[in-house]
Amino acid sequence: MIYAGCDLGTVTAKAVIIDDDDAILAVEILPYKNLPRQAAVEALEKALARAGMARDQASFCLSTGFGKKAVPYSDGDVPEIIALNRAVRKLNPGVKTVIDAGGQGIKAFNIDNNGKVGASTANEKCAAGTGKFMEVMAGALEMPVEELSRVSLDSHNPLAITSQCGVFAESEVITHVNEGKDRMDIFAGIALSVAGKLAGVIRRISVVEEVAMVGGVAKNKIVVRDFQKELGLPLAELNLDPQAVGAYGAALLARERNTRGG
């Protein structure tokens, strides 16, 4: 039997296919080009195609994420933190603190000694520190986020971005550009600002080693580097694309729920 998990976020749709042994058969991460509902369908179809499977071969599917109720093929849904917790425990049982830096929100939670979600916190009212914030800043610099993240690793003079408001931060970036400042140094300052915001969120709970970071921002190398410096701790390895962790957790829970009979 195979099982599916879909994480319908604010920026991308993610689908993961697993088998009875919880092995990952396929992963699909699909940025929105259409409505979220259609993106969820396309993500599953692409994941199934990667696995060489047909839709009717999936025994059970659970959805999670911001748009979990909009996934048309789901047999049920689970809260995002529950899905993330399940996946992280499977991927690296030593992790005790998780920060999820997604497209438009940041969450952090602890995992207690029984494997349950402990203290948690979230910042979903402000875009600072999120993937969308970084996309807006990259737009002001007229370069892709991925390229800026790569070249800015070599910056030795990051320029301070003092505002936590996206609008004002963008104005600061534009001012730096107009003054002829190096885009590499500007983005290095943006990364420092994002890392500081993430550190501020995670410190609202107990930071217990090991610490893992998931979500799209976790793919940004300069932010990850600066976040580790802020914490004074290395981040744990999960050996899975950080954007797919929630979908993997939903697939694991789908397999468990189907095995229990609902």
What tens digit of pLDDT does each residue of 201-223 get?
999 999 999 999 999 899 999 99
Other CB atoms closer than 10 Å to residue 8's CB: what's the count?
28
Burial of 93 per CB tally in 10 Å (0-12, 13-18, 19+): exposed
- The rounded radius of gyration (Å) of the Cα atoms in the chain is 19
pLDDT at 34 over 80: no
pLDDT at 94 over 70: yes
What would the mean pLDDT of 40-44 be, rounded to a whole number? 94
Domain ranges of the chain: 1-92+244-262, 95-237
For the chain, the average pLDDT equals 90
Q: What whole-number percentage of the chain has pLDDT above 70?
A: 95
**Contacts of 187 by beta carbon, 8 Å cutoff, 6+ apart:** 137, 138, 141, 143, 148, 149, 151, 152, 155, 222
Please report which confidence band the pLDDT of residue 102 belongs to, taking 50, 70 and 90 as the band edges: confident
Q: Which superfamily does 95-237 belong to?
A: ATPase, nucleotide binding domain (3.30.420.40)
Instruction: Give the per-residue pLDDT at 125.
Output: 60
Tokens of 133: 């914030």
Pairing between β-strand 58-64 and β-strand 97-101 as defined by DSSP bridges: unpaired
Please report which confidence band the pLDDT of residue 173 belongs to, taking 50, 70 and 90 as the band edges: confident
Going by C-alpha positions, the residue among 236, 143, 235 that lies closest to residue 190 is 143
CA distance 129 to 56: 40
Do the domains spanning 1-92+244-262 and 95-237 agree at the CATH topology level?
Answer: yes
CA distance 262 to 180: 61
Instruction: Give the per-residue pLDDT at 260.
Output: 76
The domain 1-92+244-262 is placed in CATH, from the list 3.30.420.40, 1.10.150.20, 3.90.380.10, 1.10.8.60, at 3.30.420.40
What would the mean pLDDT of 190-198 be, rounded to a whole number? 89
Going by C-alpha positions, the residue among 79, 15, 76 that lies closest to residue 248 is 15
The residue ranking higher by pLDDT, 127 or 233, is: 233
